[in-house]
Amino acid sequence: MGVVHGHTTDGLDVSIGDARLTLDEMEWDRPAEATYQIEGATAYLSGHLDPATARYTQMDLGIQRMVDWIGGPAIQLGVKPSLARPRRVELTAEVPELVVAQVDDDIKIGVVQTVTWTGDHRLTSGLARAAHFRISLPTGLPIAEWFDRFVGPLARLISLSAGRVLAAERVVVRDSAGAEVEVIWPHALAADLPDRALLAGDLLFWLGDLGSDPSAGLAAWLGVTESYQPVLDSFFATRAEQPMYEEDRFSNLVQAIEGYHRRRMGGRPDEAAHQARVTAVLAAIPAEHRKWLGNALRHEGEYQLSQRISGLIALHRWLIGDVVPKAYKGWAGRAARARNYRTHHDPDALPVAKTTWELIGLSQRLSVLVEACLLTDLGFAEAKVEAMIKRASRPYTILKLNAL
């Protein structure tokens, strides 16, 4: 059906995207009285629009536990009794100033904090701090591009800090005239979080760690999510709340590390020298064999998986002897053989990490390695990365509490 336009029970305009018409109820002898139900993947509240073509210049984005990630002092509350009415007390709150990052010449990302009422407004009532990103662009984007460029990346930024997948909770877009539309969709990724605030032992970093001006950090992260999207897809799948077989977790982490190294370091140590050798060899053999040999040499000289793992470990040498064994190249080879044994199903290969417990040890170490890589890409110095991981990394804590 595509897009369906309608109204809510409150009279607001609503558009349902990717709509499907399903039969709800029908008596066998009265088909004319059948009722139907329209279902869609996304609803757009307060607007009749075509989500593929409608363009918006601003977005408000709320993410789970964003207030905890912002950190800083709590809202300054004030209590003012009324002299004229002694039984009346006024509550006031001082909201922190707006933080704005200029990511590039076109993109502004603000961190907006607000105060909202809590409680039932009768027996209990109070004030609470809320927060969201406000992203502004001079030219409009369709909603799907807003999600690709900002919703997913910024949600994953806070998810990296918290060590678990945190979902976007609220998305509101505005066009150049100021008309706004709220985007509503099933929040399948919403994490089951503790009732208390996330504390120092729960978060690798806060907004304040990006500096008084977070422009460089946010720009770096948007670049990371663009360059390493498949890597992040594999990595954050291991951080979701849904149960996951340890074999799949291990496979995802190895895939993330392999993809990260390939995008950062390339396919082989010296691509130019390899291409020169291939050209010289192909020129020296009969023409009828060149295509076959060219295909055979296509992946010759590429980094092996063990080299990719050990190469990334070498970039974070504090991991050696703490997270991974001192003989880290041998350990990297063991991790590679464990992947190859499960991926290629070679009947002659010796089993590596035969038990789930052994796989957990490999997975937690690889997970810490990915954390170190991503934190470095955010711009943190190596000493800061080490301190963050030792303070709040969940896989690091698992390694220290268990004999893995």
pLDDT in tens, the chain (404 residues): 678 888 888 888 888 887 787 766 766 677 777 787 788 778 888 878 888 889 999 999 999 999 999 886 656 666 777 777 777 777 676 766 678 889 888 899 999 888 777 776 666 767 778 899 999 999 899 999 999 999 999 999 999 999 999 989 999 999 988 889 999 887 666 666 777 888 888 999 999 999 989 999 999 999 999 999 999 999 999 998 778 899 999 999 999 999 999 999 887 676 666 666 767 666 777 877 767 766 765 666 678 899 999 999 999 999 999 999 999 999 999 999 999 888 877 776 667 777 888 899 999 999 999 999 999 999 999 999 999 999 999 999 999 999 87
Residue ranges per domain, the chain? 2-45, 56-227, 243-267+303-401
Q: Kind and range of the H or E element at 146?
A: helix 143-146
Provide the total of helices (H) and of strands (E) in the chain, helices listed first.
13, 12
State both tokens at 237.
């799948």
Q: Kind and range of the H or E element at 24?
A: strand 13-27
Under DSSP, the state recorded for 303 is P
CB 100 within 8 A of CB 110: yes
Distance CA 390, CA 387 (A): 5
> Which residues have CB under 8 Å from 163's CB, separation 6+?
202, 204, 239, 392, 393, 394, 395
Under DSSP, the state recorded for 137 is E
Cα-Cα-Cα-Cα dihedral sign, residues 9, 14, 17, 21: positive
> Which residues have CB under 8 Å from 20's CB, separation 6+?
1, 38, 39, 40
Strands 2-7 and 13-27: antiparallel
Global pTM? 0.85
